[in-house]
Amino acid sequence: MRFMKMHGAGNDFVLVDARDEERDWPRLAQAMLDRRFGVGGDQMLLVEDSDRAHLRMRTFNPDGSEAEISGNGIRCFVKHALDEGLVPGKRTDMVVETLAGLHHLTAHISDGKVDWLRVGMGMPRLAPAEIPVAANGVTTVVDHPLDVGGRRIHVTCVSVGNPHAVAFINGSVDDWPLARLGPLVEMNPFFPKRVNFEIVNVVSRDLLKVRVWERGTGETLACGTGASAIGVAARLKGLMDGRVSLDMPGGRLHVEWDGQGEVMLEGPAALVFVGAWPGP
């Protein structure tokens, strides 16, 4: 089975054209994404046909669970589709179906290949039941206190197709014990469907420094939905204007949100190598 290894700002993926394949995808994701015995990756992306968009993307985590969407993954997905001519005609835009809905992307082409993409991530969902979080009597969850591992943090919660909890902290994100506390936040009962967790330093109104703990994956070098959620949370807290850049361990992403409409995400996408998976 042919696969592509790709990454967006260091957030890496195994991409498979599943239009003519029938597999146990959760089990295969666990095998292929293993960094010692498999190919290695943060998530598996499947290319499928769609009757609502140009193509459909499915996303699986290393633990075999299926995610609603990946902001970095969908850019890699569209780079592959456009570079390989999976959609007819010479085009620089696509609509992709995901479990989180339809998403429109536009691509920048350099030397005949896609290298940068802009993604419409949809309207952020702020109501507790839509994220979801176990909060009653509030319309938004901003700076909610959460006690984990002997520490109290304050999280602002957003869904951009999947749930996120964002904590703006005073100490350096580099020194924060994310490997220890990330799983405790992910599994906290406050989040009925678990949660992606981001810690953030505010460098300036247009620059943030970020680390991410992804639900079902662990710490990653970047997260596109996380960047989108952070941009929304920063705007809700009055920490940014209309556009912000986010420095993540794997690279820089850019988010725009005017406080009312769709969240826009920009960032790179790259092919690392093409391979063949011999197993079932």
User: Above 90 in pLDDT, residue 90?
Assistant: no
The answer to whether the beta carbons of residues 164 and 226 sit under 8 Å apart is: yes
User: Above 70 in pLDDT, residue 47?
Assistant: yes
The reply to whether 2-120+267-276 and 128-261 are identical in fold is: yes
Q: What is the pLDDT of residues 212-247, one digit of tens each?
A: 999 999 999 999 999 999 999 999 999 999 999 999
Q: Which of 225, 222, 202 is nearest to 212 (CA)?
A: 222
CATH number for 2-120+267-276 (one of 3.40.50.170, 3.10.310.10, 3.20.20.60, 3.60.15.10): it is 3.10.310.10
Amino acid letter, 159: S
Q: Is 278 exposed, middle or buried (0-12, 13-18, 19+ CB in 10 A)?
A: exposed
Q: What average pLDDT score do residues 48-73 get? A: 97
CA dihedral over 266, 247, 200, 226, signed as positive or negative: positive
- pLDDT at position 89 is 81
Strand 207-214 versus strand 218-220 pairing type:
antiparallel
Name the strand (E) or helix (H) holding 28: helix 25-32
Band (132; pLDDT cuts 50, 70, 90) = very high
Q: What is the pLDDT of residues 10-19, one digit of tens each?
A: 999 999 999 9
Q: What average pLDDT score do residues 128-151 get? A: 96
- pLDDT at position 193 is 96
CATH no. of 128-261:
3.10.310.10
Average pLDDT over the chain reads 96
Q: For the chain, how far is it from start to end, CA to CA, in angstroms? A: 9
Residue 175 DSSP class: G
Where exactly are the structural domains of the chain? 2-120+267-276, 128-261
What percentage of the chain exceeds 90 in pLDDT?
Answer: 96
Amino acid letter, 176: W
Q: Which of 195, 208, 215, 217 is nearest to 248 (CA)?
A: 208
